[in-house]
Amino acid sequence: MATVTFDTMAFVEMLTAAGFDERQAKGLSKALKEVSKDDHLTTKEESKTDLAILRADIEITKRELKSDISSASLTMVKWLVALILGQTALMITILPKIMGH
């Protein structure tokens, strides 16, 4: 992880020179120092690695999703064909009785 050096006194002085009162400037300085700790920062290389991992995960997820969609489509087609055949058989059976033959 990257290490950031932060001069809190210089920051407080810049803020007070810009019109902040000392209490506000010290509060902002403390907050900025807290969020600037090492556990919150990453290097450019770490970010690139994380991005590459995310992109790979997205590609895997896309492939899995396409496969799932294809499988669901095939299942729907099978059911549709079965329903059409069943309906046709039913019509062939019932239609002569309705027509009186």
pLDDT single digits (tens) 62-91? 999 999 999 999 999 999 999 999 999 999
Query: How much is the pLDDT for 75?
Result: 95
Q: Which of 41, 33, 40 is nearest to 2 (CA)?
A: 41
60 is a domain residue: no
* Residue ranges with strand state E in the chain: none
| Distance (Å, whole) CA 42 – CA 3 | 9
20 is a domain residue: yes
Domain coverage including residue 8: 1-41
33 is a domain residue: yes
Query: How much is the pLDDT for 71?
Result: 95
Answer yes or no: is pLDDT of 8 > 70: yes
| Distance (Å, whole) CA 90 – CA 86 | 6
- C-alpha distance from residue 87 to each of 90, 93, 99 (Å): 5, 10, 17
pTM higher than 0.85: no
Query: How much is the pLDDT for 34?
Result: 81
pLDDT single digits (tens) 32-60? 888 777 665 678 888 899 999 999 999 99
Query: How much is the pLDDT for 43?
Result: 81
Looking at the structure of the chain, the number of domains it has is 1
User: Taking each helix axis from N to C terminus, what angle separates 8-17 and 22-35, rounded to the nearest 10 degrees?
Assistant: 140
Angle at CA of residue 98, ends 95 and 78, nearest 5°? 30
1 is a domain residue: yes
